[in-house]
Chains A and B, each alone.
Chain A
Amino acid sequence: MTVKIGFLSLAHMHAHSYARALQNRRDCSLVGVYDPDQKRGEAGAKGMNTTFYSDPLELLAQVDAVIICSENNRHREFTELAAEHGCHILCEKPIATTLEDGQAMIEACQKHNVKLQIAFPVRFATPVMRVKEMLDQGQIGDVLAITGTNHGQMPGGWFVDPVLAGGGAVMDHTVHVVDLIRWFLGKEFVSVYAEVDQMLWDVDIDDCGMLSMEMEGGIIVTQDPSWSRPRTNPTWGDVTLEITGTKGVIQLDAFAQNFMVYDDEKKKVSQRSFAEDMDSGLIDDFITMIKENREPSITGYDGLKALEVALAAYESARLKKPIPIN
């Protein structure tokens, strides 16, 4: 079976790395790209060596599944459209910009009996999967506290548009870490306190923050989602977790597998990764799920729960007090 895939919007740059992962496989084919921004869609399709469709319905009629890489606030309309046409969906994170939209997406996919998977690729980074195994084996006993960071450079573009993105650094970078921790522990977050502000960049959206949370069982967690990596940073950012348990500590630096390159010509110092490609892992999981007709490993519900924490963080910062999560 060859799984036929199309892209709905290339607004999110991850689309290009997903496309490479697809095209490295023999069991799927990239049929084409639809993008409401015709210029971006045509250029992107050319780069992917595939076809640009100006009519999404024409693309949907030919594919088994779609990857939605639109702006965050358009995830719902594309998901509903794809679901109505019987296409399985891999949707970029966060699931949506409101809980209502996220819920509607889950319901649309249930109604039309298609799979909805949310793209949290960090779950597929090899060191992250290894930490999951270590925790499952009880290597550090019961988890007591986790300190996370997901720093980044300021991404610009629609990521700093409050309507299109639904939020800045806190929206962009909270959901990854929250998803990892939910997956690691199988527990939910019960409260969030957050400081959120715009202080580092000349943008009209939050660019830094600090979240302090509690989970079921009294596990305490903090997460720093700030766009605090300067332009001169040798890499885009980081995902780190320090996990303290009753019998030990795990310090995870998910993207530590790299070497340094000092380039006089470009006047640039950069980190070059030699890690296995996590986006390929995500795509493999998605395609295999369709072929085997199993449930997604990262569900719409997972996406919704991560969004819930990010939204509660904004609410907490507004009210200056911890917010309970149901």
Chain B
Amino acid sequence: MIRVGIVGYGTIGRLHAQAWQEVPGSKLAVVADCDAASLEKAQNDWNLPAVASVDEMLEKYDVDLIDICVPTPLHESVMRRAIEGDKHVFCEKPLARSLEEGQRMVELSSGYQQKVGIGHVVRFTPAYQKMRQSIKDGEVGEPGVIRTFRGGSQFPMGYQNWFADFDQSGGVILDLLIHDLDYCRWLFGDVERVYAQSTRGRAEEQLEHAMIVLRFKNGVIGHVEGSWTNFPGQFYTRVEMAGTNGLISFDSRSTEPIRTMNAAGVRLQVGPTAVNPYALELLDMVEAIKEDREPLITPHDAYETLNVALAALESVRTGQVVKL
């Protein structure tokens, strides 16, 4: 039985707490958060002990795995504490806010005896897995162009509104589009160059639309796009991949099997899938521990994706093409 401690009980920590309930061989044992209201919520939600810091967690509770769900710039320090405590580590994406932090995290985890995995959850979503399989099976021939979209929903609300602080979150490109950058890397490998634009700073802070043009080393041209808006919108994702033999086309809005209409308005529901993708990524972590293998997404792999996202941010800043 893997005993799990979640550090950070905000948006993603709450999703992970739910997902851990669905992972056989694991038990959520304790939650840490520096915010009193979140601590109280964790206790109420799961009837679990809750502590104010990762140090207190390590000191007082017997856990095997630390699940890092704090804001991005805090990932490194929590991971360092977890590794010093000789725990397995699962860390939410993006790996880090800067390349230097990411580099140090890769170094921390290299040669480390316990397992370290990073949460790029899109690799565990059924549609994205099946689309990748189609590409691998050569269903559309040699791929040439990929387009992805992610967003359309309202601006995310985090602890002390940290998503709105670019220095912490990195905005749409680092926090949101890193999902698709990672997926594209998983499909097509290394990126040759990046050119990106964003509306950040051109309107109010809580409205960002970003477009990244990519050229992969294998020649594929990519367009990775997404938004956080302040309009009441519905979150959706799109993928389109064109190859020498055809086209794969996915739009989450047309794959919602249930639509409800009531006094609260119209609501479309994704799924239902029997297992949630967060549970699948955590299950991979548990199995990696049991089988003594690497988790699907290693710190090094996540570092490579971080490198692409930060290159996109540099391109936005300089207006120039960034070669990798």
Partners in one complex: yes
**Contact A199 B244, beta carbon cutoff 8 Å:** yes
CB closest residue in chain B, given A321: B321
CB closest residue in chain B, given A229: B247
B195 contacts the other chain (Cβ, under 8 Å)? yes
Task: Count B interface residues, CB 8 Å.
Answer: 40
Q: Tell me which residues across on chain B come within 8 A of A296, comparing CB atoms.
A: none
Contact string against B for A residues 197-232, beta-carbon threshold 8 Å, 1 for contact and 0 otherwise: 101110000011110101000101010101011101
A46 to B252, CA, bound (A): 48
Task: Count A interface residues, CB 8 Å.
Answer: 35
**Contact A208 B221, beta carbon cutoff 8 Å:** yes
B211 contacts the other chain (Cβ, under 8 Å)? yes
Interface centre among A200, A209, A230 (most CB of B within 10 A): A200
**Contact B247 A145, beta carbon cutoff 8 Å:** no
Interface residues of B: mostly helix, strand, loop or mixed? strand
Contact string against B for A residues 47-58, beta-carbon threshold 8 Å, 1 for contact and 0 otherwise: 000000000000
**Contact A224 B203, beta carbon cutoff 8 Å:** no
**Contact A224 B145, beta carbon cutoff 8 Å:** yes
Stretch of B5-13, B116-124, B225-233, B256-264 on the interface side: B225-233
Interface residues of A: mostly helix, strand, loop or mixed? strand
A266 to B144, CA, bound (A): 29
B215 contacts the other chain (Cβ, under 8 Å)? yes
A321 to B320, CA, bound (A): 7
Q: Tell me which residues across on chain A come within 8 A of B193, comparing CB atoms.
A: 320
**Contact B244 A222, beta carbon cutoff 8 Å:** no
Stretch of A117-125, A127-135, A243-251 on the interface side: A243-251
Which of B142, B144, B202, B229 is within 8 Å of A249, CB to CB?
B229
**Contact A249 B199, beta carbon cutoff 8 Å:** no
CB closest residue in chain A, given B225: A147
CB closest residue in chain A, given B144: A199
**Contact A193 B321, beta carbon cutoff 8 Å:** yes
CB closest residue in chain B, given A193: B195
- What are 17 A-B interface contacts by the 8 Å CB criterion? A147-B211, A197-B144, A207-B144, A210-B145, A210-B213, A212-B197, A212-B213, A214-B197, A220-B199, A222-B223, A224-B147, A228-B240, A228-B247, A230-B245, A230-B247, A246-B204, A246-B207
User: Which A residues have a C-beta under 8 Å from some C-beta of B?
Assistant: 142, 144-145, 147, 149, 191, 193, 195, 197, 199-201, 207-210, 212, 214, 218, 220, 222, 224, 226, 228-230, 232-233, 244, 246, 248-249, 320-322
